Amino acid sequence: MRYSNYFRGFKVIFTLAFFFFTCSSILVFSEDDPEIKIGEKIFQGNCTACHNLTGYTKLSGRSVGPDLSGVTDRREIDWLKKWIKNNKELRESGDKDAIEIFEQYNGSIMQAFDWLSDEEMNGLISFLANPPVNEALIAVADDVSVVQEDEGMSVSTQMMLIALALATLLYLLSSVKNSLKSSMGQETETISQTVSNQTKSFFAQNRNVIFIVVIALIFLAKIGYDALLDVGVTKGYQPEQPIAFSHKVHAGDNDIDCNYCHSSARHSMSAGIPSANVCMNCHANIVEGTVTGTTEIQKIYDAVGYDPETRTYKQNYTQKPIKWIRIHNLPDLAYFNHSQHVSVAGVDCETCHGPVDEMDILAQYADLTMDWCIECHRETDVKMKDNEYYASMHEKLKDSLGVESFTVDQIGGLECGKCHY
């Protein structure tokens, strides 16, 4: 019974030590508080020219204003907010502390910061109360040499010391426990045996809890993995364009071929964005749309300087670019050639861009991920009909592979260098 009580005490002390470790970790990383980050940004942009903050900044010579380290301890928060918002108004109200500071620093006038929002003000106060500890201090000497002051104890060193303290505590408690067991004539244990026995006991007594925790961790890992796979994937991206151009009206209702506007898709790497002159091929005469009337078409006229009343272009008019927002945007590390797919492979535009002729507002249809491209290369047969330029190569590949048709991946379509130079 006595041993049981002693061991229960050991558990309590170890729990308190773990609590201390957790609290220390929270304090160590408290500088990542978003409110403090907001305050730090305000301080760096507006306060560092006149004020020192010991442990964070150091101005050469005497600063214009007082050192702000510990200012939240010396002054009430409400007073500080009034001083920062409008120190002149505070002085004129007869506040003795405000007048004393003004006179102490030779009547130097501090700018009023009445434009700060409540969130920014609270962030600044929080930053002044908890500035990042032991940042590098830059001191400018008379010879303009720069000296970096001691940064103090790093976070990793603090964590190592805490871990060492816990290990020492564990050793002392184990020694006390063994002394008690020895005095009662019981067999003693080493630290490793104690840890091993406690671990086995914990797992034996909490099997159901451990099972639930493991399942929860697996579930969370799956969610995290799926989230990582979606990083940079913009499927469904549908921005509002500067002109409400409807692909449904043009490609669908009026059956205009994609290549009429995106003519470079057949001849170059990029499909390109058609110039306003391409729009004017039709809209020099078509001045009213079926959906938006004249509103959106007028934006084209404003861009090129066209007068729909006289059907003429304005003289000496400075044309304005139409700032279309790009939707399908591959990363720079991936090389994609439209002409190779459109003209050589005969891939339809809809394969990658979806049913554009049904979209009033264009959106990204496909994932455009590497996995999506690879899957297409594995399933798509190489086009050999009406492809005379590659005819002799196709015949050689048929003979070497012993097949009449073959997919893109069978002729090296999955090699890294094909898409990543």
> Would you give per-residue pLDDT tens digits along the chain (421 residues)?
444 444 444 554 555 555 555 555 544 444 457 778 888 888 877 787 678 777 666 554 456 678 887 888 888 888 888 888 888 888 888 888 888 888 887 777 787 888 888 888 888 888 888 877 544 444 433 443 333 444 456 778 888 889 889 888 877 887 787 788 778 877 777 777 777 877 888 888 888 888 999 999 999 999 999 888 888 888 999 999 999 999 999 999 999 999 899 989 999 999 988 999 999 999 988 888 888 888 999 999 999 999 998 989 999 999 999 999 999 988 889 999 999 999 999 999 999 999 999 999 999 999 999 999 999 999 999 999 888 899 999 999 999 999 999 999 999 889 998 899 7
- What pLDDT is recorded for position 292? 84
Say if residue 114 is in the same domain as residue 42.
yes
Is residue 57 included in any domain, yes or no? yes
Last residue of a domain, one of 177, 212, 231: 231
- Domain coverage including residue 224: 191-231
Domain harbouring 81, CATH code: 1.10.760.10
Q: Is residue 82 assigned to a domain?
A: yes
Q: Does residue 62 sit within a domain?
A: yes
Q: Which of 231, 256, 289 is at the close of a domain?
A: 231
Choose the final residue of a domain: 129, 152, 171: 129
Residues 123 and 202 in one domain: no
CB of 349 closer than 8 Å to CB of 244:
no
The 10s digit of each residue's pLDDT in 79-94 is 888 888 888 888 888 8
Give a yes or no: residue 50 inside a domain: yes
Q: Check whether residue 200 and residue 122 sit in a common domain.
A: no
Is residue 6 one of the residues assigned to a domain? no
Whether residues 124 and 196 fall in one domain: no
Per the domain annotation, does 296 fall within a domain?
A: no
pLDDT digits (tens, 9 = 90+) for 272-298: 889 999 999 999 888 888 888 889 999
- In this structure, the answer to whether residues 39 and 123 fall within a common structural domain is yes
- Whether 249 is covered by a domain: the verdict is no
Look at residue 301 in the predicted model and tell me its pLDDT. 94
Q: Are residues 120 and 206 in the same domain?
A: no
Domain count, the chain: 2
Specify if 123 maps to a domain: yes
Helix 118-129 × helix 34-46 angle, to 10°: 90
